[in-house]
Amino acid sequence: ERGALLAPDGSTVALAPLLAGAEVGLKRAAGWPSPTHEPPTTLDALYAVTVTEALGTAFLLARAHNHSRAPLGPDGCWDDVENPQNFTLMGPPSPIPDAVANGALDGVLLGARLAEAPVPLSSLLRSYYGTGNGTASGRPPSSYRRRDFGALTGPGKLEEEVAAMLRLLRVLPPTQGLLEDVGAEEEVAIAHRAARDFMEAYVECPAIVPRCMWGARPYRGTPRPLSLPLGSVYIHHTFVPSAPCRSFSACAHAMRAMQRFHQDTRGWDDIGYSFVVGSDGYLYQGRGWHWVGAHTKGHNSKGYGVGYVGNFSASLPDPDTIALVRDGLLPCAVRAGWLHRNYTLRGHRQVVNTSCPGDSLFQEIKTWHGFE
């Protein structure tokens, strides 16, 4: 009912917050005055119509049900990524499932752009999602939505906007009851927690494409659970495919090819890696956080195996792709409790007789936190 669609970058986007943000941007460009509210507030309409009303309401509802924090998410999957018709969430819905978060990020970014320089909406959407002339050319701007939203907004700005929204919700009939016994100090705490949780989930941590979205085969046999948190991370390159994948379509194809090779040729239960890193701006779920992989012989139950798509013997992944793991995945894994704070990071070659992860990438990871 929120108008979810599958974008060319592989992300699912809710149209409601996207178009609401675009509308605010166009109105600002046309010189329309911002509406005034009672009591006086510094509410920014661009954030109000995209994210802060849903975010504030989510945390108020969680409080009303005695939950310590509001759920954000979940993600979901399409029935067929080549011909998507039906989208199904992977868990109980919150006011901000991942599709709504993506739509909100895009709505803020595109609304801000339209406010500065109005262009036909169709042209803006084609260029943003990488569909100019029906073909994708490199990484589309939409794959940078988390980075760009963080640069535009920052945690302080989002916290201010949630606080302003809570003051408005206090006087609106549908939500007055949720704030009747919320004092000023608790209101500030709710705004802080809501902004922090949203920024951690949708800005600081990278998006991970679930198995159902890249077309994974079923696991063969019974997965073995990991004993969390783990103490190690092992960095790989895939070698084959040798070229980095730079679009959702190419990365999903690479994932399926690797899974077929690992299952049919190697005889493994599933694709071996815990996570795979595309050069399209996304991580791809292999065995994931909870299940023992087949990535680093003798060490599979001790750490996560993270593989970069490509051959990085003589060249490096793009800086953004390096940062996806170094500055995104690893700190987020520590924060979530999947990885020990004092984890050890190694290249595949340090524990197995192999050239993996390639000379160039190995020299790079020597500079990362936790390398030993």
219 and 327 belong to one structural domain: yes
β-pair partners for 275: 285, 306
Helix (H) or strand (E) holding 57: helix 53-64
Helix (H) or strand (E) holding 161: helix 145-169
* Alpha-carbon 313 to chain mean position: 28
Within-domain flag for 343: yes
Query: Tell me, what CATH number does 263's domain have?
Result: 3.40.80.10
Distances (CA, A) of 215 to 93, 133, 207, 249: 23, 27, 17, 11
Residues 6+ apart with CB under 8 A from 16: 2, 3, 100, 103
Indicate the residue among 172, 204, 236 that finishes a domain: 204
Q: What amino acid is encoded at 282 in this protein?
A: Y
pLDDT at 252: 94
When divided into structural domains, the chain yields a total of 2
222 and 343 belong to one structural domain: yes
Q: At what angle do helices 98-116 and 145-169 cross, to 10 degrees?
A: 100
pLDDT at 137: 53
32 and 175 belong to one structural domain: yes
Within-domain flag for 308: yes
pTM: predicted TM-score of the whole model, two decimal places: 0.93
155 and 263 belong to one structural domain: no
170 and 258 belong to one structural domain: no
163 and 240 belong to one structural domain: no
Report helix, strand or coil for 304.
strand
At 278, list the tokens. Answer: 């595309």
335 and 283 belong to one structural domain: yes
pLDDT at 133: 42
Contact 230, 339 (CB under 8 A): yes
Cis omega (within 30 of 0) on the bond before 357? yes
Strands 303-308, 275-277: parallel, antiparallel or unpaired by DSSP?
A: parallel
At 254, list the tokens. Answer: 């690479």
d(CA 144, CA 210): 18
305 and 175 belong to one structural domain: no
Domain extent for 287: 211-366
Indicate the residue among 169, 204, 239 that finishes a domain: 204
Within-domain flag for 372: no
Q: For residue 35, is it left (φ>0), alpha (ψ between -120 and 50) or beta? A: beta
Within-domain flag for 194: yes
Within-domain flag for 229: yes
193 and 217 belong to one structural domain: no
d(CA 21, CA 349): 48
**Closest to 369 in 3D by CA, of 334, 338, 336:** 334
59 and 111 belong to one structural domain: yes
Alpha helices in the chain (DSSP H): 15-29, 45-47, 53-64, 98-116, 121-129, 145-169, 173-176, 184-199, 211-214, 248-260, 319-323, 330-336, 359-365
d(CA 87, CA 81): 10
238 and 282 belong to one structural domain: yes
pLDDT at 132: 53
- Go through the chain and tell me how many residues it has: 372
Within-domain flag for 371: no
Helix (H) or strand (E) holding 78: strand 76-78
Buried/exposed code over 273-312 (b: 16+ C-beta within 10 A; e: otherwise): bbbbbbbbbbbbbbbbbebbbbbbeebbebbbbbbbbbbb
Q: For residue 193, is it left (φ>0), alpha (ψ between -120 and 50) or beta? A: alpha
143 and 221 belong to one structural domain: no
Within-domain flag for 141: yes
DSSP secondary-structure letter at 283? E
Indicate the residue among 204, 221, 247 that finishes a domain: 204
pLDDT at 136: 45
Contact 212, 84 (CB under 8 A): no
pLDDT tens for each residue of the chain, 372 residues long: 568 999 989 999 999 999 999 999 999 999 987 655 555 457 999 999 999 999 999 999 888 888 766 789 999 999 988 888 999 999 998 889 999 999 999 999 999 999 999 999 999 999 999 875 444 457 899 999 999 999 999 879 999 999 999 999 998 888 888 888 888 999 999 999 999 999 999 999 999 999 999 999 999 999 999 999 999 999 999 999 999 999 999 999 999 999 999 999 999 999 999 999 999 999 999 999 999 999 999 999 999 999 999 999 999 999 999 999 999 999 999 999 999 999 999 999 999 999 999 999 999 999 999 999
Contact 253, 293 (CB under 8 A): no
What value does the CA radius of gyration of the chain take, rounded to a whole number of Å?
22
